[in-house]
A and B are shown apart, each in its own frame.
Chain A
Amino acid sequence: MLKNMKEIRWHGRGGQGAKTAALLLGEAAINAGKYVQAFPEYGPERMGAPVAAYDRIADEEISIHSPIINPDAVVVLDETLIDAVDVTKGLSEQTGVLIINTPFSKEEIQKKLTWRGKIIVLDASKIALETIGKPIPNTPMMGALVAATGIMDINHLIDDTKHKLEKKFRTKPEVIEGNLQAIKRAYEEVKKQ
Chain B
Amino acid sequence: MQKTIVARTGNEAVAEAMRQINPDVCAAYPITPATEIMQIFSTFVADGLVKTNLITAESEHSAMSACVGSAASGARTMTATAAQGLALMHEILYIASGLRLPIVMADVNRALSGPINIHCDHSDTMAERDSGWIQIFSENSQEAYDNLIQAVRIAEHKDVLLPAMVTTDGFIISHGMERLEMYPDEEIQKFIGEYKPAYNLLNVENPITVGSLVLTDYYMEHKRAQHEAMKNSVKVIKDIGKEFGKIFGKEYDMIEKYKIDDADYILICLGSTAGTTKVAVEELRQEGMKVGLVKIRVFRPFPAEDIVNAIKNAKSVAILDRSESLSTQAGPVATEVKAALYDAAINIPIKPYIYGLGGREIYVEQIKNVFKSIKDLKKTEPVSYLGVKE
- A residues bordering B, Cβ < 8 Å? 1, 23, 26-27, 30-31, 33-40, 42, 62-67, 69
Contacts and interface: CB of A to CB of B under 8 A. Distances in A.
Contact of B177 (A26, A31, A42): A26
B177 A66 contact: no
A66 B175 contact: no
A193 to B, nearest CB: 30
Interface string B3-38: 001110000000000000000000000000000000
A12 B272 CA distance: 27
A44 B232 CA distance: 46
Given A27-B7, A30-B7, A42-B119, A64 B175 contact: no
B276 A64 contact: yes
B276 A36 contact: no
Interface in B260-285: 272-273, 275-276, 278-279, 283
Interface of B: 5-7, 118-119, 139-140, 169, 171-173, 175-179, 272-273, 275-276, 278-279, 283, 361-364
A63 B179 CA distance: 11
Contacts, number: 68
B276 A26 contact: no
A26 B140 CA distance: 16
Contact of B275 (A38, A40, A64): A64
B284 to A, nearest CB: 13
A37 B276 contact: no
Contacts of B5: 30-31, 33
Contacts of B7: 23, 26-27, 30-31, 36, 38
Given A36-B7, A65-B276, A42 B179 contact: no
A23 B6 CA distance: 12
B275 A63 contact: yes
Nearest to B33: A42
A64 B177 contact: no
6 contacts: A36-B179, A38-B177, A39-B175, A63-B275, A66-B276, A67-B361
A65 B272 contact: yes
A69 B363 CA distance: 9
A40 B364 contact: no
A37 B362 contact: no
